[in-house]
A and B are shown apart, each in its own frame.
Chain A
Amino acid sequence: MRKLNNKGMTAVEVLVCFVLLVIIVVSMYTTVSAYKNKQSIESFKEKIFTYKNLLTKDIQDDLIKTGLISVNIVQASSTSELFVVDMMLRDGTTKRLKIVRELASDYDDPVDPAEDQDDNFMISYGSVVNGTEDLIDYPIPDLGYGENANGRKVYDFRINNVDINTDNGILTLYIGFYHPDFGTKYAIDIICPINAAL
């Protein structure tokens, strides 16, 4: 019978192949890991964009389609935790935007536990009829949270600053957001002329 070639690989060949494989796997791992991180950031971005677009469209639809004739800033200051603005429309209705921004104490600077609380952010928008609110809550996207020294929730995605003004006859509603990955890049920025004769 014919003698078969039963020679296998030598130890050196196996070793070289193994080393090559390890190098490839390690380089692939760092690449895949970077893309996985990018994927989660993109998913956060998508949630932020969806939220921003939805709320902006709901408010702008009223301001543009019905027409904004006057604005009453009920409560708004840089130190306030509650911002309220009433927008009077051409059809006689009043729309209210309410922004709640209550902060837990900082990770590094905890306050008395009795005075501490979870982060609380809420944007509500809707009608006000005869002083009665009929608002819809638009909770900001939950992109994860940590806990401060008092065990209170500190959300990663938070309302950073609010600016409401009517300078030069133009309503500006600016709700700035903060996220550790994006900084203060994203915001709801609604600008609409008041009673524009166009």
Chain B
Amino acid sequence: MIKMRKLNRSGFVLVETLVVSVFVMVILSIMYTNFYPLMGEYEKREVYDDIDGKYAAYWFKRIIQSDSFSFTAAMNNAIANQKYYQFRCSDISDLSSQNLCNSLITKFNVSTDGGTPHIYLITYNTEEFKSVVEENEGEKFSGGLQDYMVFLPKYLIPSLNDASYRIVIEFHRTKDGNDYLAYSTIEVKK
């Protein structure tokens, strides 16, 4: 006579089901809490390099590339040591371009601090400026700028247009009574 093997046909008990359910819910909660900030990150990036910011950056690039602006030794030193130079319209030699620059700063809502616009002239490669912003976030630079610099690539491959510099601009915009910061960058060939 063939002896039939006894099969274990008992199902899960309620406690086992509950334990597994709780385990799955914990995993889903962890995934959700990690995923949710990505949504905020995506919304924040809406104001990075948008079309208005790009055209604004373009006009400041034109001003810096024009003959009315020249690099001084102090500017070169600041870029070499401090890793950035904060551009001012008073750096422009001719008065009409200086006035145009001031008007553009107002029209484009460039952030200012004591009259100095938040237009940072840096090297084309952003690696060193990224570190400086990270070290001085909250003191010299806003948290928004730090986030933007983290977002930006390092631009390790040289510019196809032989640009040696770039500008990073912070805008202070107001919509529906809400203030927010927007950012843009463009290369500068000088």
Contacts and interface: CB of A to CB of B under 8 A. Distances in A.
A2 B104 contact: no
B51 A57 contact: yes
A52 interface: yes
Interface stretch (B56-64, B75-83, B161-169): B56-64
B51 A197 contact: no
A168 B51 contact: no
Interface string B101-131: 0011001100000000000000000000000
Secondary structure class of chain A's binding surface, majority of residues: mixed
Interface residues of A, number: 31
Contact of A184 (B100, B108, B176): B176
Interface string B48-68: 000110011011001101101
Interface in B19-39: 21
B140 interface: no
B6 A2 contact: yes
Contacts of B100: 169-170, 193, 196, 198
Nearest to B103: A168
Please tell me the size bucket of the interface on B. 20 to 34
Given A52-B51, A191-B107, A191-B108, A198 B17 contact: no
A198 B97 contact: yes
B172 to A, nearest CB: 14
Interface in A167-198: 168-170, 172, 183-185, 189-193, 196-198
B63 A191 contact: no
Nearest to B106: A168
Contact of B59 (A56, A172, A193): A193
Closest 3 CB pairs of A and B: A168-B103, A183-B176, A198-B62
Interface of B: 4, 6, 9-11, 14, 17, 21, 46, 51-52, 55-56, 58-59, 62-63, 65-66, 68, 96-97, 99-100, 103-104, 107-108, 175-176
Interface of A: 1-2, 4-5, 9, 13, 16-17, 20, 45, 52-53, 56-57, 60, 64, 168-170, 172, 183-185, 189-193, 196-198
